[in-house]
Amino acid sequence: MRALWRDRTFTQPVVWVTTFFMIAFHIGAIAALFVFTWKAFFVAMLLWWIAGGVGIGMGYHRLLTHRGYKTPKWVEYLLTIFATLTLEGGPIFWVAIHRMHHQNTDKEGDPHSPQDGGLWSHMGWIVTGQSIHNDSAVLLPFVPDLRKDRFHVWISKWHWIPMTVLGAGLLFFGGWSFLLWGIFFRTVLGLHSTWLVNSATHMWGSRRFQTGDTSRNSFWVALLTFGEGWHNNHHAHPQSSRHGLAWYEFDPNWYGIAALRMMGLAWDVKAGKLEAPHPVHSSS
């Protein structure tokens, strides 16, 4: 792993708009600690799960990116709206970036590889480097399916609207404590949790499968991301809707998809297996 001073983050220009919002949200998250109430805390935890687990994990990642299962369009769109509440951008941006990662994992073209530094893979690629937009020529070839969908094109441009409406509602019904906890603290917690999948699960953890990259399984990242931390499992079976392949691997996002299937709202659900491909049982 690169030494800190050789991290790519320190050699790239700052993306000032993104950096401004990152700083503002982190300040808001700290401010939330001074207006703590249990109601605001529980609202934040509920929204953390809805946005990060249901939205990002079940929606952006396992449904839109990998098409690990199918749902009615209204369910797909609802999960997408939930995902926009994370401040992680619209579906075209998020899905394209993740498909790029899988195509070029730990090689040239991977947008957030720890080979370029741990800080870079965690958040440096967001706040420095070349800013990538929804209509970027780099991204569009990776999302031909989403570009054909009017809703996904629209929400990718206006992805900040659901967060703004939610913030206004929290302020109106719960005051500043609800706003600071339900928007700022919860969003920062969710961002770092998601970024840990890019950084920590390519640096530390166990490897069940020999995938040809640095992906690892991490129990503690899985706890923070509702099951996304079983990253080596995921790279071995990218289209699998189930990341926690063993019974003891905590995977709430999979439980949610299974619940949708029981209700008839998910079908063609794909699930990986423990025994293939090329299992290894080493850790680092």
- In a 10 Å sphere around its CB, with 0-12 CB exposed, 13-18 middle and 19+ buried, how is residue 109 labelled? exposed
Side-chain half-sphere of 253: how many Cα atoms within 13 Å?
Answer: 36
Report pLDDT for 266.
98
Residue 180 near residue 40, CB atoms below 8 Å? yes
Give the three-class secondary structure for 135.
Answer: coil
Ranges assigned E (strand) in the chain: 206-209, 279-283
Digitized pLDDT (tens) for each residue of the chain, 284 residues in all: 555 557 888 888 999 999 999 999 999 999 999 999 999 999 999 999 999 999 999 999 999 999 999 999 999 999 999 999 999 999 999 999 999 999 999 998 899 999 999 999 999 999 998 756 655 778 889 999 999 999 999 999 999 999 999 999 999 999 999 999 999 999 999 999 999 999 999 999 999 999 999 999 999 999 999 999 999 999 999 999 999 999 999 999 999 999 999 999 999 999 877 655 444 544 33
Report pLDDT for 131.
59
Q: Which pTM was predicted?
A: 0.92
Closest CA to 86 of 58, 112, 62, 50: 50
pLDDT tens per residue across span 138-177: 888 999 999 999 999 999 999 999 999 999 999 999 999 9
How many other CB atoms are found less than 10 A from the CB of residue 219?
Answer: 14
Distance CA 216, CA 58 (A): 20
Cis peptide before 277 (omega within 30 of 0): yes
Report pLDDT for 150.
97
Report pLDDT for 137.
78
Report pLDDT for 282.
42
Domain boundaries, given as residue ranges, for the chain = 36-114+133-283
| Dihedral (Cα; 268, 155, 53, 25), 10-degree rounding | 170
Name every residue whose Cβ is closer than 8 Å to that of residue 73 and which is 6 or more positions away in sequence.
Answer: 151
